[in-house]
């Protein structure tokens, strides 16, 4: 019963780290990456649809993203979705594809983005700690109802803390890597 809880905690904490990694992939680093725009939601026939389901997204060089929609009639809505996003990019539409030129980041913008990354990393740390708290509370209830012994509770608390420390270290590593990537010129 306790091992199920520990396994659940490990899975949920890992998902929090993966969610952080996916979210930080959308932060601009000055280099073109399809991950920058593939999460954008486009209003396609009244349904918000991810851009990567409506088009092929490529980065032929470090300063350009090319979006080739499967349905050319969706070019206008894709363009509007990019303009509405907080990316700060202006699309260039030639009737067949949309090109996004990635301008170099200024030093101030790099610092702002690094601050944003640190904020997201802290939110992921809090999420991991909240998972630990939930599982810990559940294990205390099991001990209180005499389903597990105090010794078993202490062992599981130690194991849960070890898993939490590992996941927070992983989250910090993800954040440091992204921040280093942002601040390098």
Q: What is the pLDDT of residue 185?
A: 60
HSE-CB for 31 with a 13 A CA cutoff: 12
CA distance 96 to 74: 10
Q: Which of 183, 182, 170 is nearest to 20 (CA)?
A: 170
If asked whether residues 40 and 68 sit together in one domain, one would say yes
If asked whether residues 116 and 83 sit together in one domain, one would say no
Q: Are strands 55-61 and 98-101 parallel, antiparallel or unpaired?
A: unpaired
CA distance 132 to 80: 42
Number of domains in the chain: 2
Q: What is the pLDDT of residue 155?
A: 92
Q: What is the pLDDT of residue 170?
A: 95
Q: Which of 70, 67, 95, 94 is nearest to 82 (CA)?
A: 67
Q: What is the pLDDT of residue 125?
A: 95
**pLDDT tens-digit map of 64-83:** 899 999 988 888 899 988 88
If asked whether residues 110 and 97 sit together in one domain, one would say no
Q: What is the pLDDT of residue 26?
A: 75
If asked whether residues 20 and 110 sit together in one domain, one would say yes
Q: Which domain holds residue 140?
A: 2-25+106-183
CA distance 127 to 131: 6
If asked whether residues 136 and 177 sit together in one domain, one would say yes
């Amino acid at each position: 019963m306790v091992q199920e809880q520990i396994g659940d905690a490990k899975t949920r904490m890992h998902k929090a780290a993966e969610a952080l990694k996916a979210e930080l992939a959308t932060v601009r680093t000055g280099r073109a990456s399809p991950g920058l725009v593939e999460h954008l939601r486009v209003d396609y026939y009244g349904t918000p649809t991810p851009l990567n389901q409506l088009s092929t997204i490529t980065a032929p060089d470090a300063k350009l993203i090319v979006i080739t929609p499967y349905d050319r009639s969706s070019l206008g809505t894709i363009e509007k979705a990019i303009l509405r996003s907080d990316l700060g990019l202006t699309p260039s539409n030639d009737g067949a594809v949309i090109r996004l030129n990635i301008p170099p980041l200024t030093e101030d913008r790099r610092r702002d983005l690094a601050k944003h990354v640190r904020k997201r990393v802290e939110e992921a740390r809090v999420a991991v700690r909240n998972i630990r708290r939930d599982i810990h509370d559940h294990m205390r209830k099991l001990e209180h109802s005499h389903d597990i012994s105090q010794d078993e509770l202490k062992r599981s608390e130690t194991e849960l803390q070890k898993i939490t420390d590992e996941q927070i270290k992983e989250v910090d590593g993800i954040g440091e890597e992204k921040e280093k990537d942002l601040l390098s010129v």
